[in-house]
């Protein structure tokens, strides 16, 4: 069965500092991996996705993620966090671009001044 | 930029009542989905829909749930007899082949 683990429930980062959110997945075939962001009361916005090719993918809002097959990981990074990045971040895995997604429990990012 | 829209944004209903949640997917997308997120929990898959039929459904999607694409633009989720535990945020998503795009959600509160 497929699963996603986001080990950090909350993370607090100072504004301007770098960020890394961890995601580990379990999937029996080639995974399609996604990061979504959810601001309070809002829907899920697609930040970036990995299907194949270059293992370092760039997304919107200055985010990037690196796929590491050997570690079954797809960690999200940003070099310099802005206060507007405070939100909940979800990692998800699926089998293709249109197959159903399995989500992690999310990581709440808090940004301190 | 095209986006998925959902109505209403918030629905309050009495236990046992029927509710219909509406979604307008992105116009050139062919795959449609419903997910839900109970407060404080993770997003869970309910059902996927392609070519006018259900392509996959989860254990959550029992006989109380149904989906329909009544016309060329709308995609609906019906809950026939709501229970307290149906209270959640319901997200519609649509996809071509490049990933799923989610709507803003409908918060369903069952009293």
Q: Are A7 and A91 in contact (CB under 8 A)?
A: no
* Rounded-to-integer distance, Cα A105 and Cα B87, Å: 18
Angstrom CA distances, B80 to A56, B19, B44, B62, B109, stand at 45, 7, 20, 11, 15
Q: Which of A101, A102, A105 sits opposite B100 (nearest CB)?
A: A101
pLDDT for position A97 = 60
Beta bridge partners of A84: none
Q: State the pLDDT confidence band at B72, using cuts at 50, 70 and 90.
A: confident
B33 CB neighbours in chain A (<8 A) are 100
Containing structural domain, residue B65: 5-98
Q: Could you confirm whether domain A3-112 is CATH 2.60.40.10?
A: yes
- When comparing pLDDT for B2 and B61, which is higher? B61
CB contact, 8 Å: A98 with chain B?
yes
pLDDT tier, B49 (very low <50, low <70, confident <90, very high otherwise): very high
In a domain, B17, yes or no: yes
Give me the CATH number covering residue B30. 2.60.40.10
For residue B98, the chain A residues in CB contact (below 8 A) are: 49, 97
Say yes or no to pLDDT of B65 above 80: yes
Low-confidence ranges of chain A (pLDDT < 50): none
By Cβ distance, the residue of A46, A97, A103 closest to B97 is A97
Average pLDDT of chain B to the nearest whole number: 93
From B49's Cα to the closest Cα of chain A, the distance in A is: 10
Spell out the domain ranges in chain A.
3-112
Rounded to an integer, the average pLDDT of B2-12 is: 93
B28 occurs within a structural domain: yes
How many domains are there within chain B? 1
How many angstroms separate the first and last alpha carbons of chain B? 37
In a domain? residue B104: no
Which of A24-28, B64-68, B69-73, B92-96 tops mean pLDDT? B64-68
């Amino acid at each position: 069965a497929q699963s996603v683990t986001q080990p950090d429930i909350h993370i607090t980062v100072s504004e301007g500092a770098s960020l890394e959110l961890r995601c580990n997945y379990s999937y029996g075939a080639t995974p399609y991996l996604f990061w979504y962001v959810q601001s309070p009361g809002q829907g899920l916005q697609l930040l970036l996705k990995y299907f194949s090719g270059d293992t370092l993918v760039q997304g919107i809002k200055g985010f990037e993620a690196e796929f590491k097959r050997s570690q079954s990981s797809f960690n999200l990074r940003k070099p310099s966090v802005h206060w507007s990045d405070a939100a909940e971040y979800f990692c998800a895995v699926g089998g293709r671009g249109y197959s159903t997604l399995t989500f992690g429990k999310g990581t709440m990012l808090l940004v301190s001044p | 930029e095209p986006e998925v829209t959902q109505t209403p944004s918030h629905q309050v209903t009495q236990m046992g009542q029927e509710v219909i949640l509406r979604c307008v997917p992105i116009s050139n997308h062919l795959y449609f989905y419903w997910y839900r997120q109970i407060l404080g929990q993770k997003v869970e898959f309910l059902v996927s829909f392609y070519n006018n039929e259900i392509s996959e459904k989860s254990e959550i999607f029992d006989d109380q749930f149904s989906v329909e694409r009544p016309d060329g633009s709308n995609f609906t989720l019906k809950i026939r007899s709501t229970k307290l535990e149906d209270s959640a945020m319901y997200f519609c998503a649509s996809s071509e082949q490049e990933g799923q795009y989610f709507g803003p959600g409908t918060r369903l509160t069952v009293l």
